[in-house]
């Protein structure tokens, strides 16, 4: 069996990694629903349709149970039974923990972790009765190794990693697999804006990546394609780093003691 004609929802897909995944899945013949809190998701879906793909754009907030349930209902009535959910929507509040507003912590946990729960719950409610389905979560190496100044994001992504393993085992008897892609630095607006906010030059970061290049959305899309395929039916609860080896490298920096 191929992915041709099967249905996928990709959250946070108006740009960046999510849009790259949607584009790739559409070229394989999948019917793709692009979700985003931004209204530009409608234009993003139109780009795929104009290129000959089957796509719809749905504006909605993954932190809202009402939006999530409405989105899944719309997708199934317009495109058909859901095969694949890609939990990709994310935000990255940045700043020292001592000064972090409570709202920034809440936002990171709401979008990056609760959103994954709400969308996964809506997906498995529909997949369990059919005995099949796939979920792929976009985590981050910031949930595996330590990055300072983004404590809500890092904590939420560590939560996504364990959520992936726990849900995978719970739904395995129902023919559903749950895996996570763990991206390293990927050239998108999120990366560019978060480094600019910290006054860091993007190209100075290249030395931290053993392959000497940033990831691109297509690198993650290739793995989503494989996790979604029948070839990967026995693979579940796995976290796969797509980071050019960055999370394996011990950087030669000396921690300065607080004065």
Ligand X SMILES: NC(=O)c1ccc[n+]([C@@H]2O[C@H](COP(=O)([O-])OP(=O)(O)OC[C@H]3O[C@@H](n4cnc5c(N)ncnc54)[C@H](O)[C@@H]3O)[C@@H](O)[C@H]2O)c1
What's the first-to-final CA gap in the chain, in angstroms? Answer: 62
Nearer to ligand X among residue 114 and residue 174 (C-beta): 114
Distance CA 77, CA 74 (A): 5
Active site residue 153: yes
By CB under 6 A, residue 11 contacts ligand X: yes
Q: Exactly one of 117, 153, 163, 227 is catalytic; which is it?
A: 153
Out of 21, 37, 104, 119, name the contact with ligand X by CB under 6 A. 37
Site residues for ligand X, window 164-203 (CB under 6 A)? 183, 185-186, 188-191
By CB under 6 A, residue 135 contacts ligand X: no
By CB under 6 A, residue 123 contacts ligand X: no
Is residue 137 within 8 A of residue 116, CB to CB? The reply is yes
Packing angle of the helix pair 65-78, 115-127 (nearest 10 deg): 40
Packing angle of the helix pair 41-50, 16-27 (nearest 10 deg): 30
Span near ligand X by CB under 6 A; candidates 87-95, 198-206, 228-236, 248-256: 87-95
Q: How far is the CB of 258 from ligand X (least distance, A)?
A: 28
Q: How far is the CB of 194 from ligand X (least distance, A)?
A: 8
Is residue 10 within 8 A of residue 18, CB to CB? The reply is yes
- Listed in sequence order, the residues at least 6 apart from 257 whose beta carbon sits closer than 8 Å to its beta carbon are none
Is residue 127 within 8 A of residue 8, CB to CB? The reply is no
DSSP E strands in the chain: the ranges are: 7-10, 31-36, 54-59, 82-87, 133-138, 176-183, 239-242
Q: How far is the CB of 5 from ligand X (least distance, A)?
A: 26
Distance CA 186, CA 242 (A): 9
Q: How far is the CB of 116 from ligand X (least distance, A)?
A: 9
Site residues for ligand X, window 230-259 (CB under 6 A)? none
Nearer to ligand X among residue 15 and residue 54 (C-beta): 15
Nearer to ligand X among residue 28 and residue 92 (C-beta): 92
User: Would you tell me which residues interact with ligand X (CB under 6 A)?
Assistant: 11-12, 14-18, 35-38, 61-63, 88-91, 111, 115, 138, 140, 183, 185-186, 188-191
Active site residues: 153
């Amino acid at each position: 069996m191929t992915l041709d004609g099967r249905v996928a929802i990709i959250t946070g897909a108006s740009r960046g990694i999510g849009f790259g995944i949607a584009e790739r899945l559409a070229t394989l013949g999948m019917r793709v629903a692009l979700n985003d809190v931004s209204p530009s998701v409608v234009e993003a879906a139109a780009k795929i349709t104009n290129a000959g793909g089957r796509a719809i754009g749905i504006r909605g907030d993954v932190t809202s149970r009402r939006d999530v349930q409405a989105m899944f209902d719309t997708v199934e009535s317009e495109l058909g039974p859901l095969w694949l959910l890609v939990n990709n929507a994310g935000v990255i509040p940045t700043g020292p923990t001592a000064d972090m507003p409570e709202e920034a912590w809440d936002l990171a946990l709401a979008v990056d972790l609760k959103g994954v729960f709400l969308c996964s719950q809506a997906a498995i409610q529909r997949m369990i009765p059919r005995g099949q389905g796939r979920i792929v979560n976009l985590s981050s190496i910031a949930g595996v190794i330590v990055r300072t100044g983004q404590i809500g994001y890092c904590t939420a992504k560590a939560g996504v990693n364990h959520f992936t393993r726990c849900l995978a085992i719970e739904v395995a008897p129902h023919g559903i697999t749950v895996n996570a892609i763990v991206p390293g630095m990927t050239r998108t607006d999120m990366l560019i804006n978060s480094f600019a906010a910290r006054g860091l030059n993007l190209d100075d970061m290249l030395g931290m990546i053993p392959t000497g290049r940033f990831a691109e959305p297509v690198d993650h899309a290739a793995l989503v394609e494989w996790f979604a395929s029948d070839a990967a039916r026995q693979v579940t609860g796995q976290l796969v780093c797509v980071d050019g080896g960055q999370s394996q490298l011990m950087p030669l920096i000396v921690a300065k003691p607080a004065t």
